[in-house]
Amino acid sequence: MTKKKNELWEWTKALLIAVILAAVIRYFLFAPIVVDGLSMMPTLKDQDRMIVSKISYKIGEPRRFDIIVFHAPEQKDYIKRVIGLPGDTIEYKNDTLYVNGKAYKEPYLDEYKKQVQDGPLTDPFTLEEKIGRKTVPEGELFVMGDNRRFSKDSRHIGTVPMEKVIGKTSIVYWPLKDAHIVSVK
């Protein structure tokens, strides 16, 4: 009888440890997220399932073109691409991104740019026109979806405070046939 009791106790302890470990990993390190909508097409598809690294910005800083997940004003989590870092000036003209006056290529947009026949993929704008400031404020990010014509992003909701950022994402794990690591550039 004591042997069965011990065995049951050992299994219970193992199960408790597994549950606690899973909760710690999910809450502090990594979490799954589902892409909801078409705003990151063609890079990410609706209903793609991804892993969010919650520790990436606790040990490092966001970089331009990272794909991040953040709490949006509508009580939802959004997935967008970092375009502007604190202190940056942002401008779009002739379908080209200019950061601090320097033109940047955005190869992840090439597929959509070829399809667009009726004007630019990204309408021209300056940061000042969109957020009323010449530069991205300290501690905030300017983000945009890759599907520029159909994305609710910093052009509409303003810059994203770092405390609203959940983490960085780059691994699509489902559907299995589409599993891949998303290229930043």
Cβ contact 169:50 at 8 Å: yes
Contact 63, 99 (CB under 8 A): no
- Known catalytic residue: 177? no
CA 174, chain centre distance (Å): 17
Is-contact 25 90, C-beta < 8 A? no
Alpha-carbon span 46 to 49, nearest angstrom = 9
Q: Catalytic pick from 39, 53, 56, 154?
A: 39
Catalytic residue among 53, 56, 80, 154: 80
> Is residue 76 flagged as an active site residue?
no
Cis upstream peptide for 86 (omega within 30°): no
- In angstroms, what is the C-alpha Rg of the chain? 21
Cβ atoms of 68 and 143 within 8 Å: the answer is yes
Q: Known catalytic residues?
A: 39, 80
